[in-house]
């Protein structure tokens, strides 16, 4: 290995580790999660086995084992020999065990009854001992939680010894609380109406923000500042960079102040007899106008800077010459300036499409997808599904499936852009080989 | 300059002292407790645990144990962020020891193993647990096992602004009789729309303020579903129930309210702060709120004569199929799963002590919630309070709760999305119901009965 | 500029278009030090009471200075990581012949424009596995990792413009590649380092969703989460307070921007050139 290789590996490793761990591994995990039913109730990090009400229902509905379900659901406490033996092992005071022996054969339907009897023993066991004792006499496995299949089956065998292998498998599957593999997420995605809606919303969002602001208005800004004295141009560029440098939380707050019921617009228009209202959430259309404005004001600055620097590259004499020839400003823009912007426009379009597709923080903070889900774009729907909703029902698996769609779109688009912008030139071989 | 070795020696001695002191049965425990949906008036939800810690320390001292408990409290004003933070920290193994959350979280959290049954840690026959209302204990259970202890009770009634009712021709006597009329089913949701309309026509409230419901998602909306005869679950089957017709009539009620102009099409998303101020100052005619709003109306919002200006009742029936009803959404103290069993025992004891009627009454009165235990009504602080007394009598006997079912969250989100899209005019009622059905079928399959 | 076209019509037109934006920012400042009656647009008094949050914490919220310190640590540390790791990795990709170089480069390109935030569930899992959930360190690493592809790409772009002759000369004088990088090449890209450092700092300072999800604890709260929490809380609607906290939050950004405008333009505009 030559020295440049060694040094290269040394210098790139830290960056590679960070990127792999917190970027590539999550991509892979997202793809994996997309094929699971992971949610709040299954948990992420594995599960246990529990004969819960849910499990009984599964046994009845999916495995057609109502009688087994019925038996497993029975609860009961019994003072018996094995229980007494276990108490000795658990370190319960021998006097208590002796006294309990006098109650052998007694059964109780509910925990409360069993514990009442235990507590009233002459030896007055402590709360902790009462719990230990009642555990040993518990002859039902309803609601008990087992960490392994073996433990579950052993417990099941204690109440229903003669079950077949298939029945054991059914009980294992029905009582498992953790996540399982499934392709159901994609089937669900294809079948529910919300999917189509978020897709359409996303397209509306990207198309309008991109054409009106990231390209259109950015061009207006670049060209108008181009025709200004440099001091004025600097001022306006500074003003239009404010939305980009302001943190989203405060930037969106300013829009809320402008648009809310008691905000600037309402008060101002109130002077002209217009009812105050929440302008941002008044209707789907209003919400869209604001979403596009909020994102567009941020997005315009990138195009503005890129287009401006492209315009700086126009040879001055060309402009003066055209003016001498009597070209109007419009003609100058159309014939000299626009051709200069062709590639920058293509670049901004590509770059911003991707970032618009995946960004949702400004929408989250402003309309949060409302009203009535009319501004819920795909990325925001993903966030709501996987991490943030009122019922606290976080569907990691389904959310990951939704994220995976974006990941795939993102990878395809970026690969396409790489081709478009001549990837080969960018990776020209180093001139010093060793 | 200081002699370094001397300093080291001093440190070592201090360390040894600390260790030996620890050996003599002194115990320092830090208990973290989080509460969701908890504003300033709900502070006792967390403070009660702290008070309990003080008592437990004294009890321990009498038994010769030097136990010191530090309680770390965290209140989340909303639910979304609270549940996100709690669920993720539980996955990371850093969940708080005690959580105060809505009872509907019991089922999913029990399944995932986030919480453990509190009945394994407390004596159900002991005071004050044996005094808690049995129906609340039921609500805190899942699959016959008691997972948490009820922290409070409430209900979500209708409120009427008396002066506005008078303006449209009600006499004082009629207003006083209104709750009974609602209870008898003689005053329905259709009458609500009529009266709201009249108030607007009279000009006492602005358009869109005749009927002014809660401006965001909440258990409240299930009440309307029930008003039209809907059932949330079938307890016998243990399955959720989606009653298309009832859900449709419930959605249609809100669509009608918008069409009649008594509720704003863009009502959802109104900032809650603004909403409170408006209803407490007579900007709205009829609204649907919560019993605990009383604290906010009369406190922060400065409503002086509540009983002179506001009437309250059950949620009226929607039609013949439904009944007047209300819903109680108790917050429950839950015990999270940890490896340190001894610490979990302490946490369980704290929850038990915090349920002491006298301590709970502090929360009830401060936040205008309702009692969890029978003996609470023998505590003057509670029984002398006109609001809790009247609200308990008028509302609680007719209160239902949401089912504890691990899939209820999915159903809830679908119900709300459908309502929102119909209300805001994005979909017709029929489309919304059809879409709800498609989504429920594909996400819950046969775990929900659709009829 | 071009002599025979008058500038004032464009200035006027752009002034009108920019008015709402200017208005929002002017009112942001004005509202923090004045009181305005409801339903009015003109303040009636000067007051400092909206700023009391600086010395008396808002009930139920952590101390603002603690939060500000967290934010500073978060932004500085993630910026430092981005800067140090991308300045090395960018150099490697620009100049050194390592195995899989093309693959690395394509990977960086793809990641650069990637839907990073959609990965957040999986990122949470990674952080949880290494025990960094709900810690400042964890969210710093994540932020740095997500900004890194852009950083590497930018640094590579700048290294590409450094003439080969400089390195050739160094190597002919017998210096190692490392020394050449350290002593000869790095000084050439100093403006890029400054720009990238600032960019990463501002990006960290503004970040909301990552800390909101990955570090929600009061101890490690940053300003964006603090302010968003304040706004979302419906028990204390106080626009003037929100705005004052907002000004407290945004002023450092604006100062940095004013001082280093030129460098930042480099990166917001030119640096991202494909």
What are C121-151's pLDDT values in tens digits? 889 888 888 889 999 999 999 999 888 888 8
Beta bridge partners of B374: none
Find the mean pLDDT for residues C56-70: 90
- What are the beta bridge partners of residue B115? B336
Place domain C61-272 in its CATH homologous superfamily.
Answer: MetI-like (1.10.3720.10)
- Check if CATH label 3.40.190.10 holds for domain B158-327+407-450: yes
| φ/ψ (deg, to 5) at B102 | -70, 150
Question: What is the DSSP secondary-structure string of C210-260?
Answer: HHHHH--SGGG--HHHHHHHHHH-TT---HHHHHHHHHHHHHHHHHHHHHH
Average pLDDT of the residues in C194-213: 92
Contacts of C254 in chain A (CB under 8 A): 242, 245
Q: Say if residues A243 and A362 touch (Cβ distance below 8 Å).
A: no
Residue B18 banded pLDDT, cuts 50, 70, 90: very low
- Residue-wise pLDDT for B249-285, tens only, equals 999 999 999 999 999 988 888 878 889 989 999 999 9
Q: How far is CA B29 from CA B32, B56, B92, B340, in A?
A: 10, 12, 21, 11
Q: What are phi and psi of A42, to 5 degrees?
A: -90, -20
Q: Is the CATH number 3.40.190.10 carried by domain B4-154+329-400?
A: yes
A221 touches chain C (CB under 8 A): yes
C236 to chain B: which residues are within 8 Å by CB?
40, 273
Burial of B17 (0-12, 13-18, 19+ CB in 10 A): exposed
pLDDT in tens, B356-413: 999 999 999 999 999 999 999 899 999 999 999 899 889 988 999 999 998 998 999 9
Q: How far apart are CA A54 and CA A173, in angstroms?
A: 12
> Which of A256-265, B346-355, C4-13, C47-56 is the most confident on average?
B346-355
More confident residue, B51 or A26: B51
Q: Count other C-beta atoms under 10 Å from residue C27's C-beta.
A: 19
pLDDT digits (tens, 9 = 90+) for B37-46: 998 889 999 9
Q: Would you tell me which residues 161-180 of chain B have a C-beta closer than 8 angstroms to some C-beta of chain A?
A: none
**Could you tell me the two tokens for A240?**
């239009």
* Residue entry with tokens 């709120």: B289
Q: Do the Cβ atoms of C39 and A236 come within 8 Å?
A: no
pLDDT of B78 over the 70 cut: yes
> Subunits that touch chain B (at least 3 Cβ pairs < 8 angstroms)?
A, C
Residues B304, B307, B312: CA angle, nearest 5 degrees = 125
Please check the confidence at residue B1 and state whether its pLDDT lies above 50.
Answer: no
Residues A321/A326/A332/A334 CA torsion (nearest 10 deg): -130
Residue A433 has pLDDT above 80, yes or no: no
Cβ neighbours of residue B45 under 8 Å, at least 6 residues apart? Answer: B35, B38, B75, B100, B151, B152, B331, B363, B367
224-283 in B: which are within 8 Å (CB) of A? 237-239, 264-266, 268-271, 274
Is the domain of A226 the same as that of A363? yes
Composition of chain C by helix, strand, coil, percent to 5: 75, 0, 25
Per the CB < 8 A criterion, the answer to whether B330 and B151 are in contact is: yes
Contact residues, chain B, for C134 at CB < 8 Å: 89, 92, 94
Q: Does position B130 have pLDDT exceeding 70, yes or no?
A: yes
- Average confidence (pLDDT) over B209-235: 94
Tokens read off for B438: 């498609």
B136 in Cβ contact with B396 (< 8 Å): no
* Domain span at A65: 51-175
Which chain A residues are within 8 Å of C91, Cβ to Cβ? 11
Q: How many angstroms separate the CA atoms of A412 and A393, rounded?
A: 31
Find residue B123's DSSP bridge partners. Answer: none
A residues 35-74 lying closer than 8 A (beta carbon) to C: 44-45
Band of residue A429 on the pLDDT scale cut at 50, 70, 90 = low
Residues in chain A, total: 434
**In this complex, is the C-beta atom of A43 within 8 Å of any C-beta atom belonging to chain B?**
yes
The pLDDT score that the predictor gives to residue C3 is 53
Using an 8 Å CB-CB cutoff, list chain A residues near B104: 391
Res C273: pLDDT: 30
Q: With an 8 Å Cβ cutoff, is A116 touching chain B?
A: yes
State the CATH number of the domain containing residue A284.
1.10.3720.10
For C88, the closest of A11, A243, A418 (CB atoms) is A11
The tens digit of pLDDT for each residue in A16-46 reads 888 888 888 888 999 999 999 999 889 887 7
- Partners of residue C138 in chain B, C-beta under 8 Å: none
Identify the pLDDT of residue C63: 92
For residue B17, pLDDT over 60 is answered with no
Residue B36 CB burial class (10 angstroms; 0-12, 13-18, ≥19) = buried
Name the residue in chain B with its Cα closest to that of A45: B91
Q: Write the DSSP symbol of residue C57.
A: P
Chain A residues with beta carbon closer than 8 angstroms to that of C148: 15, 18-19, 23
Q: What is the pLDDT of residue C4?
A: 54
Q: Is residue A151 part of a domain?
A: yes
Between chains, do B89 and C234 touch, taking CB under 8 Å as contact?
no
Subunits with 3+ C-beta pairs closer than 8 A to A: B, C
Nearest-CA distance B86 → chain A (Å): 10
Is residue C27 pLDDT above 60, yes or no? yes
Contact A40 B87 (CB under 8 A): yes
- The count of other CB atoms within 10 Å of the CB of residue A272 is 6
Asked whether residue A23 is assigned to any structural domain, the reply reads no
Chain C positions in Cβ-Cβ contact with residue A321 (cut-off 8 Å): none
Q: A177 to chain B nearest CA, in Å?
A: 6
What number of CA atoms fall less than 13 Å from residue A209's CA on the CB side?
Answer: 32
Residues of chain C contacting residue A414, judged by C-beta atoms under 8 Å apart: 109-110, 112-114
CB contact under 8 A, C117 and A360: yes
Yes or no, beta carbons of B78 and C236 under 8 Å apart: no
Interface residue A427 vs chain C (CB under 8 A): yes
Residue C114: pLDDT band by 50, 70, 90 thresholds? Answer: low
A335 C-beta neighbours (distance < 10 Å), count: 11
Helices (H), ranges, B184-229: 189-202, 220-227
Quick one: pLDDT at residue A434?
47
> Who wins on pLDDT, A344 or B109?
B109
pLDDT, residue B24, reads 44
- How many H-runs (helices) and E-runs (strands) does chain B carry? 19, 17
Q: In Å, how far is B426's CA from the nearest CA of chain A?
A: 7
C41 vs A355, C17, C35, CA distance in Å? Answer: 37, 21, 10
Q: Tell me the nearest-neighbour CA distance from C2 into chain A, angstroms.
A: 7
Query: Mean pLDDT score of chain A, rounded to an integer?
Result: 86
In a domain, A226, yes or no: yes
* pLDDT computed for residue C269 by the predictor: 55
Measuring CA to CA, which residue among B41, B77, B276 is closest to residue B152? B41
Closest approach of C218 to chain B, Cα-based (Å)? 8
Cα–Cα distances (Å) from B104 to A186, B232, B274, B329, B350, in that order, read 28, 12, 28, 8, 22
- Cβ–Cβ below 8 Å for C254 and A245: yes
B66 — pLDDT class (breaks 50, 70, 90): very high
Q: Cβ A414–C246 below 8 Å, yes or no? A: no
Does residue A147 belong to any structural domain of this protein? yes
The domain spans of chain B are 4-154+329-400, 158-327+407-450
Same domain, residue pair A155 and A210? no
Domain range list for chain C: 8-47, 61-272
| Partner-chain contact C234 B81, CB within 8 Å | no
pLDDT tens, position by position, A225-236 = 888 888 888 889
Chain A residues touching B108 at Cβ < 8 A:
39-41, 392-393
Q: Is the pLDDT of residue C1 over 60?
A: no
Residue with tokens 């590579």, as numbered in its chain: C156
Say whether residue C19 is in contact with chain A using an 8 A CB cutoff: no
Say whether pLDDT at C8 is over 80.
Answer: yes
Q: How confident is the model at residue A305 (pLDDT cuts 50, 70, 90)?
A: confident
Cβ separation B273–C234 shorter than 8 A: yes
Judged against a pLDDT cut of 80, whether residue A249 lies above it is answered with: yes
Domain count, chain A: 2
Q: Order of strands across the sheet with B233-234?
A: B233-234, B239-242, B448-450
* Candidate from A350-354, B128-132, B323-327, B343-347 with smallest mean pLDDT: A350-354
Q: Look over chain B and give the mean of its residue pLDDT values, rounded to a whole number.
A: 91
Q: How far is C205 from chain B (nearest CA, A)?
A: 21
Q: Would the CB atoms of A372 and B423 count as touching at under 8 Å? A: yes
What does the DSSP 8-state code read for residue B317?
Answer: P
Q: Is residue A233 part of a domain?
A: yes
pLDDT of B20? 44
C213 contact residues in B (CB cutoff 8 A): 84, 88
Count of CB atoms within 10 A of residue C239's CB? 18
Buried b (16+ CB within 10 A) or exposed e, B276-303: bbbbbebbbbbbbbbbbbbbbbbebbeb
Whether chain C has a CB inside 8 Å of the CB on A186: the answer is: no
Closest C-chain CA to A247: C206
For the entire predicted model, the pTM comes to: 0.89
Search chain A and give the residue with CA nearest B82. A392
- pLDDT tens, B155-183? 999 999 999 999 999 999 999 999 999 99
The lowest-confidence range among A165-169, A250-254, B98-102 is: A165-169
Residues in chain A with CB shorter than 8 Å from the CB of C243 are: 253, 257
Query: Do A212 and A168 sit in the same domain of this protein?
Result: no
Q: Which of residues 260-289 of A touch B (CB under 8 A)?
A: 260-262, 275, 277-278, 281-284
For residues C96-120, one letter each, b for 16 or more C-beta atoms within 10 angstroms of the residue's C-beta and e for the rest, the string is: bbbeebeebbbbbbbbbbbbbbbbb
Residue from B162, B429, A348, A399 nearest C123 by CA = A399
Fold agreement between B4-154+329-400 and B158-327+407-450: yes
Partners of residue C263 on adjacent β-strands: none
Q: Is some CB atom of chain A closer than 8 A to the CB atom of C13?
A: yes
Burial A21-32 (b: 16+ CB within 10 A, else e): bbbebbbebbbb
Contact B77 C237 (CB under 8 A): no
Instruction: Answer whether C88 sits within 8 Å of A9, measured CB to CB.
Output: no
Residues C224-257 have pLDDT tens digits of: 999 999 988 877 788 889 999 999 999 999 999 8
Same domain, A169 and A191: no
Touching subunits for chain C (3+ Cβ pairs under 8 A): A, B
* Interfacial B residues in 259-278 facing C (CB < 8 Å): 271-274, 276
Distance CA C137, CA A277 (A): 44
Would residue A308 count as lying in a domain? Answer: yes
The mean per-residue pLDDT over the stretch A73-99 comes to 85
Q: Which of A268-282, B95-109, C57-71 has the lowest mean pLDDT?
A: A268-282
Query: Is A27 a member of any domain?
Result: no
Name the more confident of A339 and B200: B200
Contacts of B291 (CB under 8 A, 6+ apart): B154, B155, B156, B157, B368, B369, B370, B387, B391, B395
Please report residues of B whose CB lies closer than 8 A to that of A143.
117, 143-145
Give the gap in angstroms from C-alpha C87 to the nearest C-alpha of chain B: 34
- Rounded to a whole number of angstroms, the distance from the CA of C67 to the nearest CA of chain B is 16
Query: ipTM score here?
Result: 0.90
The owner of tokens 């007047």 is: B324
CA distance A374 to A398: 21
Inform me whether the pLDDT recorded for B333 exceeds 70: yes
Examine the fold and report which residue of A129, A149, A175 is the final residue of a domain before the chain moves on.
A175
For position A189, what pLDDT does the model report?
92
């Amino acid at each position: 290995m030559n020295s440049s290789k060694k040094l290269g590996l040394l210098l790139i490793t830290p960056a590679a580790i960070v990127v792999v761990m917190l970027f590539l591994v999550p991509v892979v995990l997202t793809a994996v999660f997309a094929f699971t039913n992971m949610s709040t109730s299954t948990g992420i990090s594995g599960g246990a086995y529990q004969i819960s009400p849910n499990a009984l229902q599964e046994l009845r509905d999916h495995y057609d084992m109502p009688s087994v379900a019925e038996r497993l659901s029975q609860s009961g406490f019994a003072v018996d020999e094995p229980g007494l033996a276990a108490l000795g092992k658990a370190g319960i005071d021998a006097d208590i065990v002796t006294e309990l022996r006098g109650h052998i054969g007694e059964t109780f339907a509910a925990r409360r009854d069993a514990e009442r009897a235990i507590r009233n023993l002459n030896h007055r066991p402590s709360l902790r001992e009462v719990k230990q004792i009642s555990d040993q006499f518990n002859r039902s496995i309803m609601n008990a939680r087992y960490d392994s299949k073996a433990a579950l089956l052993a417990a099941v065998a204690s109440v229903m010894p003669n079950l077949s292998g298939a029945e054991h498998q059914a009980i294992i599957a029905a009582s498992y609380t953790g996540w399982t593999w499934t392709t159901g997420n994609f089937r669900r995605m294809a079948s529910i109406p919300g999917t189509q809606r978020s897709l359409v919303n996303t397209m509306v969002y990207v198309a309008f923000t991109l054409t009106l602001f990231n390209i259109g208005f950015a061009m207006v800004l670049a060209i108008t500042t181009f025709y200004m004295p440099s001091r004025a141009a600097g001022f306006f560029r500074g003003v239009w960079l404010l939305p980009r440098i302001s943190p989203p939380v405060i930037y969106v707050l300013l829009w809320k102040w402008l648009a809310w019921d008691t905000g600037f617009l309402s008060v101002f228009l109130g002077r002209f007899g217009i009812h105050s209202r929440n302008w941002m959430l008044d209707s789907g259309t209003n919400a869209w106008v604001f979403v596009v404005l909020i994102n567009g004001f941020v997005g315009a600055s990138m195009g503005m800077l890129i287009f401006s620097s492209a315009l700086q590259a126009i040879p001055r004499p060309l402009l003066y010459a055209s003016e001498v020839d009597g070209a109007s400003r419009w003609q100058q823009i159309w014939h000299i300036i626009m051709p200069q912007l062709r590639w920058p426009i293509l670049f901004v379009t590509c770059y911003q499409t991707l970032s618009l597709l995946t960004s949702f923080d400004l929408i989250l903070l402003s309309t949060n997808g409302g009203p009535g889900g009319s501004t819920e774009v795909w990325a925001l729907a993903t966030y709501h599904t996987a991490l943030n909703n009122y019922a606290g029902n976080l569907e990691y698996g389904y959310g990951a499936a939704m994220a995976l769609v974006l990941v795939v779109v993102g990878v395809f688009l970026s690969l396409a852009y790489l081709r478009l912008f001549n990837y080969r030139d960018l990776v020209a071989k180093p001139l010093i080989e060793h | 300059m200081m002699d370094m070795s001397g300093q080291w020696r001093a440190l070592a001695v201090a360390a040894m002292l600390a260790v030996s002191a620890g050996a003599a049965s002194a115990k320092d425990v830090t208990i973290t407790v989080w509460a969701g949906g908890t504003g300033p008036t709900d502070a006792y939800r967390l403070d009660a645990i702290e008070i309990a810690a003080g008592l437990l320390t004294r009890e321990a001292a009498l038994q010769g144990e030097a136990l010191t408990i530090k309680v770390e409290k965290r209140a989340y004003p909303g639910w979304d962020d609270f549940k996100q933070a709690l669920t993720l920290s539980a996955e990371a193994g850093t969940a708080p020891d005690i959580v105060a959350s809505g009872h509907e979280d019991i089922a999913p959290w029990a399944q995932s193993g986030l919480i453990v049954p509190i009945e394994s840690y407390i004596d159900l026959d002991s005071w004050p647990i044996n005094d808690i209302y049995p129906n609340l204990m039921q609500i805190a259970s899942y699959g016959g096992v008691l997972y948490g202890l009820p922290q409070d009770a409430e209900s979500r009634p209708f409120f009427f602004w008396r002066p506005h009712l008078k303006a449209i021709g009600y006499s004082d006597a009629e207003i006083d009789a209104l709750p009974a009329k609602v209870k008898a089913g003689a005053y329905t949701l259709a009458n609500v729309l009529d009266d709201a309309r009249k108030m607007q026509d009279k000009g006492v409230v602005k358009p869109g303020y005749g009927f002014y419901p809660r401006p965001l998602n909440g258990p409240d909306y299930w009440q309307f579903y029930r008003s039209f005869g809907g059932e949330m679950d079938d307890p016998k089957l243990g399955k959720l129930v989606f009653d298309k017709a009832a859900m449709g009539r419930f959605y249609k009620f809100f669509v009608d309210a918008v069409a009649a102009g008594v509720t704003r099409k863009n009502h959802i998303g109104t900032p809650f702060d603004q909403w409170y101020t408006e209803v407490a100052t007579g900007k709205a005619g009829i609204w649907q709120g919560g019993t605990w709003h009383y604290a906010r109306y009369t406190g922060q919002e400065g409503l002086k004569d509540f009983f002179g200006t506001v009437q309250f009742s059950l949620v009226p029936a929607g039609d013949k199929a439904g009944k007047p009803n209300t819903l109680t959404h108790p917050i429950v103290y839950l015990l999270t799963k940890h490896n340190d069993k001894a610490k979990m025992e302490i946490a369980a004891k704290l929850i038990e002590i915090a349920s002491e009627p006298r301590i709970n009454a502090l929360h009830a009165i401060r936040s205008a919630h309702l009692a969890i235990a029978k003996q609470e009504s023998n505590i003057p602080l509670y029984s002398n309070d006109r609001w809790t007394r009247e609200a308990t009598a008028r509302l609680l006997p007719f209160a239902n709760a949401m089912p504890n079912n691990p899939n209820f969250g999915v159903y809830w989100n679908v119900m709300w999305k459908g309502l929102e899209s119909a209300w805001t005019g994005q979909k017709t009622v029929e489309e919304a119901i059809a879409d709800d059905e498609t989504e429920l079928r594909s996400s819950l399959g046969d775990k929900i009965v659709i009829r | 500029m071009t002599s025979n076209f008058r500038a004032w019509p464009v200035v006027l037109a752009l002034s009108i278009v920019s008015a709402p934006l200017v208005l929002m920012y002017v009112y942001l400042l004005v509202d923090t030090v004045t009181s305005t009656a409801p339903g009015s647009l003109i303040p009636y008094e000067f007051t400092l009471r909206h700023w009391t949050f600086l010395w008396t914490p808002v009930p139920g919220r952590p101390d603002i200075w603690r939060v500000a310190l967290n934010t500073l640590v978060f932004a500085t540390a993630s910026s430092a990581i981005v800067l140090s790791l991308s300045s090395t990795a960018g150099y490697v990709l620009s100049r050194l012949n390592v195995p899989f170089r093309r693959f690395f480069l394509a990977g960086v390109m793809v990641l650069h424009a990637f839907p990073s935030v959609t990965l957040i569930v999986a990122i949470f899992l990674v952080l949880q596995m290494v025990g960094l959930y709900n810690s400042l360190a964890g969210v710093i690493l994540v932020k740095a990792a997500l900004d890194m592809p852009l950083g590497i790409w930018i640094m590579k772009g700048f290294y590409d413009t450094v003439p080969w002759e400089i390195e050739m000369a160094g190597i002919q004088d017998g210096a190692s590649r490392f020394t050449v990088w350290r002593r000869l090449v790095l000084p050439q890209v100093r403006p890029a380092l400054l720009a990238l450092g600032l960019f990463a700092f501002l990006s960290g300072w503004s970040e909301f969703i990552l800390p909101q999800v990955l570090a929600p604890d009061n101890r490690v709260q940053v300003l964006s989460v603090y302010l968003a929490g304040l706004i979302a809380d419906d028990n204390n609607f106080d626009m003037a307070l929100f705005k004052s906290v907002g000004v407290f939050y945004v002023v450092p950004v604006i100062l940095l921007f004013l001082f280093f405008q030129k460098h930042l333009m480099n990166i917001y505009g030119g640096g991202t050139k494909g």
